[in-house]
């Protein structure tokens, strides 16, 4: 693994499979709302001023707005009304940000992101840990949308196919069709810092900065590790998903509007050797590989795993490669963007020693 994250992972939780953090959400230091002043549309402009400034260790609730229902050529109330969603259940924030989409650049992505958040003390070469403390639903429905030429079977659709899916939030299921319910597992499809050049012309491709990774494992109780390239990190999030299958094969998950509660922790100097974002939860470590070619993304993910075992377990390259083959699962995170992502799931149960995950709120475990 990367030298930066090795220092964190070698000391963080190696709990048995099935263990979960019991750390409460605790106090929320700031609430960043989604409105025309706090969101961006499909791109990250250079020089954008932070919408919030926090200290390392602080926790923020961030409201986000799904782009689904905003891009159909009609306003959100009209779009959702055709699916039987009453006007009083259409998010007011969606109506507020809707006009701004008309001004987004032609080649920009579709996403509406909230940010940036400036984390004091985060400087280039550091690593920003983002702990997912809670995720709250803002509306009781979402949209799975595909189109002609989209996804892994691009010929299935002859025209856009936006499927509005209602939720039973008491039972935490999506009501896909009569007799078919999908358990909800919400996560943020995009969590990212500003890239090295700060400006990002499109939010669609993921990269070394995080972004549109669509990593379904970033649910409550997980940490995402991102290398810092700009002062303050400049963190954005959006593209909220109620649930997604790995691969995201038709182009989208059930896209919805969520409010994640995130804690930000700066690890000084730990981002210098990072090549890709990494993550963990109570059961697993996660390494990633990305490329426009799926086989190259796979090679990148395997190489990341080999690096992990060399630097944290003292294994030779040969034994690291062997353990990767017999002990690690490789999963296609998403295949539908220009840049593909594969992640390696490294079970913590393979390792006999370690300290609890999220053992500290403000310093490196």
Q: What tens digit of pLDDT does each residue of 260-315 get?
A: 999 999 999 999 989 999 999 999 999 999 999 999 999 999 999 999 999 889 99
Evaluate if residue 26 carries a pLDDT over 60. Answer: yes
Is residue 290, in this structure, part of any structural domain at all?
Answer: no
What is the DSSP secondary-structure string of 204-245?
SS-BTTEEE---TT-STT-EEEEE--STT--EEEEEEEEE--
What's CA 125's distance to the chain center, in Å?
Answer: 21
When comparing pLDDT for 356 and 90, which is higher?
90
Is residue 297, in this structure, part of any structural domain at all?
Answer: no
Q: Would you call 149 helix, strand, or coil by DSSP?
A: coil
Q: What is residue 36's DSSP assignment?
A: T
Element (H, E) at 39: strand 39-41
Query: What is the pLDDT at residue 130?
Result: 98
> How many residues in total does the chain contain?
365
CA–CA dist 14, 279 (Å, integer): 13
- Chain segment 213-253, per-residue pLDDT in tens: 999 999 999 999 999 999 999 999 999 999 999 999 999 99
Q: The whole model's pTM is what?
A: 0.91
Is residue 250, in this structure, part of any structural domain at all?
Answer: yes
- In this prediction, residue 77 has a pLDDT band, given cuts at 50, 70 and 90, of very high
User: Residue range 338-360: average pLDDT?
Assistant: 88
Instruction: Give the other-Cβ count within 10 Å of 298's Cβ.
Output: 17
Is residue 236, in this structure, part of any structural domain at all?
Answer: yes
| Full domain range(s) for residue 255 | 23-267
Whether 33 and 63 have beta carbons less than 8 Å apart is answered as: yes
CA–CA dist 16, 351 (Å, integer): 9
Query: What is the pLDDT at residue 21?
Result: 34
Query: What is the pLDDT at residue 25?
Result: 63
Q: Would you call 103 helix, strand, or coil by DSSP?
A: helix
Is residue 359, in this structure, part of any structural domain at all?
Answer: no
- In this prediction, residue 3 has a pLDDT band, given cuts at 50, 70 and 90, of very low
Is residue 276, in this structure, part of any structural domain at all?
Answer: no
Evaluate if residue 347 carries a pLDDT over 90. Answer: yes
Q: Any idea what the CATH number is for the domain that residue 125 is in?
A: 2.60.120.580
- Among 193, 203, 222, residue whose Cα is nearest residue 126: 193
- Among 165, 187, 184, 161, residue whose Cα is nearest residue 175: 165
Query: What is the pLDDT at residue 73?
Result: 87
Evaluate if residue 177 carries a pLDDT over 70. Answer: yes
Is residue 126, in this structure, part of any structural domain at all?
Answer: yes
- Of 23-27, 199-203, 243-247, 304-308, which gets the smallest average pLDDT? 23-27
CA–CA dist 77, 135 (Å, integer): 24
Give residue for tokens 């259940």: 89
Query: What is the pLDDT at residue 1?
Result: 36
Q: What is residue 104's DSSP assignment?
A: S
Query: What is the pLDDT at residue 364?
Result: 33
CA–CA dist 324, 335 (Å, integer): 22
CA–CA dist 250, 286 (Å, integer): 24
Evaluate if residue 85 carries a pLDDT over 90. Answer: yes
Query: What is the pLDDT at residue 359?
Result: 66
Q: How many domains does the chain have?
A: 1
- In this prediction, residue 356 has a pLDDT band, given cuts at 50, 70 and 90, of confident
Q: Which residues contact 53 (CB under 8 A, 6 or more apart)?
A: 117, 118, 120, 232
Is residue 121, in this structure, part of any structural domain at all?
Answer: yes
Evaluate if residue 10 carries a pLDDT over 80. Answer: no
- Ordered alpha helix ranges (H), the chain: 3-9, 76-81, 92-97, 294-313, 317-327
Query: What is the pLDDT at residue 187?
Result: 98
- In this prediction, residue 95 has a pLDDT band, given cuts at 50, 70 and 90, of very high
Query: What is the pLDDT at residue 102?
Result: 85
CA–CA dist 205, 106 (Å, integer): 16
Composition of the chain by helix, strand, coil, percent to 5: 15, 35, 50
Evaluate if residue 327 carries a pLDDT over 70. Answer: yes
Element (H, E) at 164: strand 161-168
Evaluate if residue 361 carries a pLDDT over 90. Answer: no
CA–CA dist 287, 266 (Å, integer): 19
CA–CA dist 226, 38 (Å, integer): 22
Evaluate if residue 126 carries a pLDDT over 80. Answer: yes
* CA pseudo-torsion sign 41, 234, 135, 216: positive
- In this prediction, residue 5 has a pLDDT band, given cuts at 50, 70 and 90, of very low
User: Residue range 180-188: average pLDDT?
Assistant: 98
Query: What is the pLDDT at residue 4?
Result: 45
Query: What is the pLDDT at residue 7?
Result: 43
The verdict on whether omega for the bond into residue 295 sits within 30 degrees of 0, i.e. cis, is: no
Query: What is the pLDDT at residue 103?
Result: 86
């Amino acid at each position: 693994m990367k030298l930066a994250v090795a220092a964190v992972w070698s000391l963080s939780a190696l709990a048995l499979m099935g263990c979960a953090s019991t750390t409460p959400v605790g106090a929320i230091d700031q609430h960043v709302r989604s409105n025309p002043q706090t969101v961006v549309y499909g791109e990250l402009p250079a020089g954008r001023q932070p919408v919030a400034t926090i200290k390392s260790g602080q926790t923020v609730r961030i409201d986000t707005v799904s782009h689904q229902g905003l891009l159909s050529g009609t306003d959100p109330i009209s779009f959702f009304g055709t699916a039987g969603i009453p006007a009083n259940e259409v998010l007011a924030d969606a109506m507020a940000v809707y006009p701004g989409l008309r001004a987004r650049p032609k080649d920009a992505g579709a996403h509406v992101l909230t940010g940036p958040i400036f984390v004091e003390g985060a400087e280039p070469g550091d690593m920003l840990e983002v702990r997912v403390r809670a995720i709250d639903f803002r509306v009781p429905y979402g949209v799975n949308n595909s189109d002609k030429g989209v996804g892994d079977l691009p010929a299935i659709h002859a025209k856009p196919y936006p499927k509005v899916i209602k939720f039973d939030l008491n039972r935490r299921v999506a009501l896909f069709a009569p007799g078919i319910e999908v358990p909800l597992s919400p996560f943020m499809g995009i969590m990212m810092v500003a890239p090295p050049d700060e400006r990002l012309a499109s939010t669609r491709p993921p990269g070394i900065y995080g972004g549109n990774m669509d990593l379904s494992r970033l649910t409550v109780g997980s940490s995402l590790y991102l290398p810092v390239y700009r002062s303050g990190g400049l963190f954005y999030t959006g593209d909220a998903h109620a649930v997604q299958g790995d691969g995201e094969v038709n182009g989208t998950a059930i896209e919805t509007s969520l409010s994640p509660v995130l804690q930000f922790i700066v690890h000084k100097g730990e981002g210098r050797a990072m090549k890709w974002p990494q993550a963990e939860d109570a059961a697993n470590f996660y390494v990633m590989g990305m490329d426009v070619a799926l086989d190259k993304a796979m090679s990148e993910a395997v190489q990341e795993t080999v690096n992990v075992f060399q630097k944290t377990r003292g294994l030779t390259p040969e034994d690291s490669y062997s353990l990767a083959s017999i002990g690690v699962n490789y999963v296609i995170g998403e295949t539908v963007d220009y840049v593909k992502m594969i992640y390696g799931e490294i079970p913590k149960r393979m390792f006999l020693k370690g300290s609890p995950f999220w053992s500290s709120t403000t310093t490196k475990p």
